[in-house]
Amino acid sequence: MQRNTTPCYYTDYLQLDKLLDSQHPESKKYGPEAHEEMLFIIVHQAYELWFKQILHEMRAIYQEFNQTAIPDEALGRIASRLERIKAIQKLLIDQIQVMETMTPLDFLDFRDYLVPASGFQSIQFKEIEIMLGLKSKFRINFDQASFYQRLNEKDREHLQGLENEPSLFDCVEKWLERIPFFEYGDFKFWDAYHDAVNKMLDSDQAIIENNDYLSDNDRAFQLKDLETTRASFSALLDKASYEQLASEGRFRLSQQAMLGAVFINLYRDEPMFQQPFRVLTALTDIDEHFTTWRYRHVIMVQRMLGSKIGTGGSSGSDYLRQTTENNRFFKDFFSLSTFLLPRSALPELPEALKKALNFYFHPAD
Amino acid sequence: MQRNTTPCYYTDYLQLDKLLDSQHPESKKYGPEAHEEMLFIIVHQAYELWFKQILHEMRAIYQEFNQTAIPDEALGRIASRLERIKAIQKLLIDQIQVMETMTPLDFLDFRDYLVPASGFQSIQFKEIEIMLGLKSKFRINFDQASFYQRLNEKDREHLQGLENEPSLFDCVEKWLERIPFFEYGDFKFWDAYHDAVNKMLDSDQAIIENNDYLSDNDRAFQLKDLETTRASFSALLDKASYEQLASEGRFRLSQQAMLGAVFINLYRDEPMFQQPFRVLTALTDIDEHFTTWRYRHVIMVQRMLGSKIGTGGSSGSDYLRQTTENNRFFKDFFSLSTFLLPRSALPELPEALKKALNFYFHPAD
Amino acid sequence: MQRNTTPCYYTDYLQLDKLLDSQHPESKKYGPEAHEEMLFIIVHQAYELWFKQILHEMRAIYQEFNQTAIPDEALGRIASRLERIKAIQKLLIDQIQVMETMTPLDFLDFRDYLVPASGFQSIQFKEIEIMLGLKSKFRINFDQASFYQRLNEKDREHLQGLENEPSLFDCVEKWLERIPFFEYGDFKFWDAYHDAVNKMLDSDQAIIENNDYLSDNDRAFQLKDLETTRASFSALLDKASYEQLASEGRFRLSQQAMLGAVFINLYRDEPMFQQPFRVLTALTDIDEHFTTWRYRHVIMVQRMLGSKIGTGGSSGSDYLRQTTENNRFFKDFFSLSTFLLPRSALPELPEALKKALNFYFHPAD
Amino acid sequence: MQRNTTPCYYTDYLQLDKLLDSQHPESKKYGPEAHEEMLFIIVHQAYELWFKQILHEMRAIYQEFNQTAIPDEALGRIASRLERIKAIQKLLIDQIQVMETMTPLDFLDFRDYLVPASGFQSIQFKEIEIMLGLKSKFRINFDQASFYQRLNEKDREHLQGLENEPSLFDCVEKWLERIPFFEYGDFKFWDAYHDAVNKMLDSDQAIIENNDYLSDNDRAFQLKDLETTRASFSALLDKASYEQLASEGRFRLSQQAMLGAVFINLYRDEPMFQQPFRVLTALTDIDEHFTTWRYRHVIMVQRMLGSKIGTGGSSGSDYLRQTTENNRFFKDFFSLSTFLLPRSALPELPEALKKALNFYFHPAD
DSSP letters spanning D181-238? -SEETTEEHHHHHHHHHHHHHHHHHHHHHH-TTS-HHHHHHHHHHHHHHHHHHHHHH-
Q: Is A286 in contact with A82 (CB distance < 8 Å)?
A: yes
State the Cα–Cα distance between residues A287 and D336, nearest whole angstrom. Answer: 34
Q: Which segment of A222-231, A294-303, B188-197, B339-348 scores lowest on mean pLDDT?
A: A222-231
State the Cα–Cα distance between residues B190 and B185, nearest whole angstrom. Answer: 14
Q: Do C20 and A123 touch (CB under 8 A)?
A: no
- How far from chain centre, in Å, is Cα A206? 39
Rg (CA), chain B: 26
Q: State the pLDDT confidence band at D326, using cuts at 50, 70 and 90.
A: confident
State the Cα–Cα distance between residues A218 and A199, nearest whole angstrom. Answer: 22
Q: Do C19 and A18 touch (CB under 8 A)?
A: yes
Q: Do B303 and A281 touch (CB under 8 A)?
A: no
Greater confidence, D311 or C258?
C258
Q: Which of D35, D83, D94, D105 is the best residue to mutate to test the C interface, defined by the most C CB atoms within 10 Å of its own CB?
A: D105
Above 70 in pLDDT, residue C314?
Answer: no
Mean pLDDT, rounded, for D179-197? 92
Q: Does B52 touch chain D (CB under 8 A)?
A: yes
Q: Do B41 and D80 touch (CB under 8 A)?
A: no
Greater confidence, A77 or D316?
A77
For residue D317, the model assigns a pLDDT of 66
Q: Which of A142-146, B92-96, D134-138 has the highest mean pLDDT?
A: B92-96
Q: Do C357 and B357 touch (CB under 8 A)?
A: no
For residue B35, the model assigns a pLDDT of 97
Q: Do B49 and D42 touch (CB under 8 A)?
A: yes
For residue A311, the model assigns a pLDDT of 43
Residue C215 DSSP code? -
- Which residues sit opposite D184 in a β-bridge? D187
**Which chain C residue has the Cα nearest residue A114?**
C8
Q: Is A310 in contact with A111 (CB distance < 8 Å)?
A: no
- Structural element, H or E, at residue A188: strand A187-188
Q: Does B284 touch chain A (CB under 8 A)?
A: yes
What would the DSSP string read from start to end of A254-311?
-HHHHHHHHHHHHTTTSHHHHHHHHHHHHHHHHHHHHHHHHHHHHHHHHHHHTTSPPT
**Which chain B residue has the Cα nearest residue D155?**
B11
State the Cα–Cα distance between residues D3 and B114, nearest whole angstrom. Answer: 9
**Which chain A residue has the Cα nearest residue C89?**
A98
**Which chain D residue has the Cα nearest residue A203?**
D2
Written in H, E and C, the secondary structure of A152-163 is: CHHHHHHHHHHH
State the Cα–Cα distance between residues B266 and B281, nearest whole angstrom. Answer: 13
For residue D225, the model assigns a pLDDT of 82
Q: Is A341 left (phi over 0), alpha (psi -120 to 50) or beta?
A: beta
Residues 220-279 of A with CB under 8 A from B: 221-222, 225, 228-229, 232, 265-266, 268
Greater confidence, C117 or D165?
D165
Chains with 3+ CB–CB pairs under 8 A to C are A, B, D
- How far from chain centre, in Å, is Cα D294? 12
State the Cα–Cα distance between residues B165 and A316, nearest whole angstrom. Answer: 38
Residue D189 in marked binding region: no
Q: Do D221 and C103 touch (CB under 8 A)?
A: no
Greater confidence, B159 or D119?
B159
Please calculate the CA angle C155-C160-C162 and round it to the nearest 5 degrees: 100
- How far from chain centre, in Å, is Cα A34? 37
Global pTM exceeds 0.80: yes
Residue D306 DSSP code? T
- Coil, helix or strand for D124? helix
Q: State the pLDDT confidence band at B217, using cuts at 50, 70 and 90.
A: confident
Q: Which segment of C120-134, C162-176, D149-163 scores lowest on mean pLDDT?
A: D149-163
Size of interface A-D (CB pairs under 8 A): 100
Q: Which of C222, C355, C359 is the best residue to mutate to test the B interface, defined by the most B CB atoms within 10 Å of its own CB?
A: C359
Q: State the pLDDT confidence band at C247, using cuts at 50, 70 and 90.
A: very high
- Structural element, H or E, at residue C289: helix C271-305
For residue A310, the model assigns a pLDDT of 37
Q: Do A272 and D77 touch (CB under 8 A)?
A: no
Residue D261, C-beta contacts closer than 8 angstroms, at least 6 positions apart: D176, D253, D280, D332, D333, D336
**How many CB atoms are closer than 10 A to CB B38?**
20
Size of interface C-D (CB pairs under 8 A): 124
Q: Which segment of A255-269, B67-81, C214-228 scores lowest on mean pLDDT?
A: C214-228
Q: Which segment of B82-91, C154-163, C281-290 scores lowest on mean pLDDT?
A: C154-163
Chains with 3+ CB–CB pairs under 8 A to A are B, C, D
Q: State the pLDDT confidence band at D8, using cuts at 50, 70 and 90.
A: confident
Query: Using a CB-CB distance cutoff of 8 angstroms, which residues of chain C are in contact with residue B77?
Result: 269
Q: Is A84 in contact with C101 (CB distance < 8 Å)?
A: yes
Instruction: Give tens-digit pLDDT for B168-180.
Output: 999 999 999 999 8
Q: If 0-12 CB within 10 Å is exposed, 13-18 middle and 19+ buried, where does residue C280 land?
A: buried
- Which residues sit opposite D154 in a β-bridge? none
Mean pLDDT, rounded, for C36-41? 97
The domains found in chain B, sorted by start residue, are 13-181+249-332 (1.20.58.480)
Q: State the pLDDT confidence band at C311, using cuts at 50, 70 and 90.
A: very low
Residue A18, C-beta contacts closer than 8 angstroms, at least 6 positions apart: C18, C19, C21, C22
For residue A312, the model assigns a pLDDT of 43
Query: Using a CB-CB distance cutoff of 8 angstroms, which residues of chain D are in contact with residue C299?
Result: 288, 291-292, 334
Q: Is A301 in contact with A316 (CB distance < 8 Å)?
A: yes
State the Cα–Cα distance between residues A130 and C361, nearest whole angstrom. Answer: 60
Residue B311 in marked binding region: yes
Above 90 in pLDDT, residue B222?
Answer: no
Q: How far A60 CA sits from the closest chain C CA (Å)?
A: 8
- 10-residue stretch averages of pLDDT, chain A, 365 residues long: 71 95 94 96 97 98 92 93 98 96 94 75 92 84 66 86 93 94 91 94 88 82 86 91 91 96 96 96 97 92 71 57 85 93 92 92 63
For residue A228, the model assigns a pLDDT of 85
- Which residues sit opposite B184 in a β-bridge? B187
Q: Does A118 touch chain B (CB under 8 A)?
A: no
Q: State the pLDDT confidence band at C143, using cuts at 50, 70 and 90.
A: low
Average model confidence (pLDDT) across chain D: 89
Residue D111 in marked binding region: yes
- Which residues sit opposite D187 in a β-bridge? D184
For residue D145, the model assigns a pLDDT of 60
Instruction: Give tens-digit pLDDT for C65-95.
Output: 998 889 988 999 999 999 999 999 999 999 9
Please calculate the CA angle B46-B52-B54 and round it to the nearest 5 degrees: 105
Q: How far D305 CA sits from the closest chain C CA (Å)?
A: 6
Q: Which of B306-320, C38-52, C116-130 has the highest mean pLDDT?
A: C38-52
**Which chain C residue has the Cα nearest residue A118?**
C10
Residue C40 in marked binding region: yes
Above 70 in pLDDT, residue D330?
Answer: yes
φ and ψ of C310, to 5 deg: -70, 170
Greater confidence, C154 or B127?
B127
For residue B313, the model assigns a pLDDT of 42
Residue B262 in marked binding region: no
Which of B104, B292, B302 has the CB atom closest to A299's CB atom? B292
Report the b/e string of C215-240 with b at 16+ CB within 10 A: eeebbebbeebeeebbebbebbbeee
Q: Is D185 left (phi over 0), alpha (psi -120 to 50) or beta?
A: left
- Which residues sit opposite A187 in a β-bridge? A184
Q: Do D343 and C108 touch (CB under 8 A)?
A: yes
For residue B145, the model assigns a pLDDT of 60
